[in-house]
Amino acid sequence: MRLSPVRVLRLIQINWIMVRYGLDDLLLATPPFRPIAFLRFLLPGYWLGKRTQQPRGVRLRLALEALGPIFVKFGQALSTRRDLLPDDIARELARLQDKVPPFPGAQARQIIELAYGHALETVLRDFDEQPLASASIAQVHTARLLTGESVIIKVVRPSIERVIRRDVELLHILAELAERYWREGRRLRPREVVKEYEKTIIDELDLVREAANASHLKRNFQDSEVLYIPEVHWSLTRRNVLVMERIYGMPIGDIEALRARGVNLKILSERGVEIFFTQVFRDSFFHADMHPGNIFVDARDPQQPRYIAIDFGIIGTLGPTDQHYLAENFLAFFNRDYRRVAELHIESGWVPADTRVDEFESAIRTVSEPIFDKPLKDISFGGFLLTLFQTARRFNMEIQPQLVLLQKTLLSIEGLGRQLDPDLDLWKTAKPYLENWMKQRIGLNAFARKLRYSLPRLLDQLPELPYLIQDTLHKANHGDLKVRLQADEIEHLRREIKAGNRRYFYATLGVGLLVSAAIIMTMDGHSITLIGGVPVLSWVSGVLGGVLLVWAWPRSG
């Protein structure tokens, strides 16, 4: 990568800060640099820099703060990767504060007016040039719409994208060096970590994307009694300007104020757990930056407090497969079924397929059994995930970015919940939810829902099946297949095609009857007679459809 003079100067600055905080000792202590470790005594920075004898985690945190907001945010992101870091460093990085001096309010006004193409007063009034909050990517101001409604305006910092791209390029260089010379580099894939961070931070620059995340979450929790999402004003939102409803709530980190208000902290903590599992398992769309600074409490009814969330730049999602395996992992773990936990990791592809189940099971049992010496209420879900990831690392588990975000969010929610209620039993709160979620995905009702969902595609493809079989046989008969078939096999297939056509007819009829059963089952109040809560016609149609499908199913031999 070609370095411009500006980047060279930035690298020199980074080196100076590393020397100042004694991080060169960490670097020169790694195997590739041990033979030249003595050279640090020849560096001017070693003698002139203000060195510190503080612990390495503290030194790293101070150095990142000195390097500026982009490195601070990288350290924050890295602190969630406890599968990569020693505990002392991870704890210190988690203390990094994303607070930077604000830029002038008059400059924010200019950015907003440039985004709208006309004077600010034509769309807003009472714009406060004194920022309400300031962070590394953007800062927030308050104003009113012409209709009088209070709003907040989030404005991206001027020239921040150029600064981000410059420093991220340097992070790529450092990651490449780490992967080349660090023993753990190839397995932990630092270049991919930086690439993932780059995507996250560049996405945070697009406030239209953040607004879309907020709208999606608001739709998921429409009319909810447990979570409120502010309204987005889309007509005033641009890529670098976001206008949202201003919310008024109590900071969730102010426990004493919540107590003084008479807020039921037990219900508040349980609702936090409910919100998390609802987002993950019902919606597969969760707020992945739920630290106390982004959460407020609507305490108008202290006995039924409601969460208010802000800042939707980082969102996590899980696919159906990850959802299923994650729920099963939790349930198997708390049932102490370690073999099932091991099997789930292999089935999901989180660890290589050739992993020996018995060895993996033994490793999981070794680290999990001590956990159960504690009461269930003291067992950490986030800690369990971390334990699993650290154990699986020995079996070449690849980093799963979607699970890392999930672990980060779960640790935040869990810590916050137990801060509100030290006796919070996360398992007692979560287990019924997980069991109900699993039940909804197995059984006749789940089969009917999946069948209704896939029916159009299934019916669209079924008519083509005989032609595909006939085309395959034709090519096989003329030797056009890549793998040629023997004559006796072709004759056998000819006989099979006749029987296959009959099976195809009965299979189609069976599918149709099963679909009819599913449709009748959902027609509540439109059926006359019920057996066990299910309409008779649904039973009859389902049984006939099942019989036909069993008869039409291809037989071995």
Residues forming the active site: 289
**Both structure tokens of 148:** 């009088």
DSSP three-state, residue 243: strand
Phi-psi map region of 458: left, alpha, beta (phi>0 left; psi -120 to 50 alpha): alpha
DSSP 555: P
Residue 498 CB contacts under 8 Å (≥ 6 apart), including other chains: none
Q: CB neighbours (10 Å) of residue 517?
A: 25
Angle between helices 357-368 and 338-347 (to 10 degrees): 130
Q: Around Cβ 435, how many Cβ atoms within 10 Å? A: 12
Residue located via tokens 């993950």? 280
CA distance linking residue 89 with residue 220, whole number of Å: 37
In whole angstroms, give the CA distance from residue 81 to residue 75: 10
User: Rounded to a whole number, what is the distance in angstroms from the first to the last CA of the chain?
Assistant: 62
What's the CA angle centered on 331, arms 324 and 228, to 5 degrees? 65
Q: 128: closest CA among 149, 152, 147?
A: 152
SS3 246: coil
Determine which helix (DSSP H) or strand (DSSP E) holds 164, and give its type and residue range.
Answer: helix 160-181
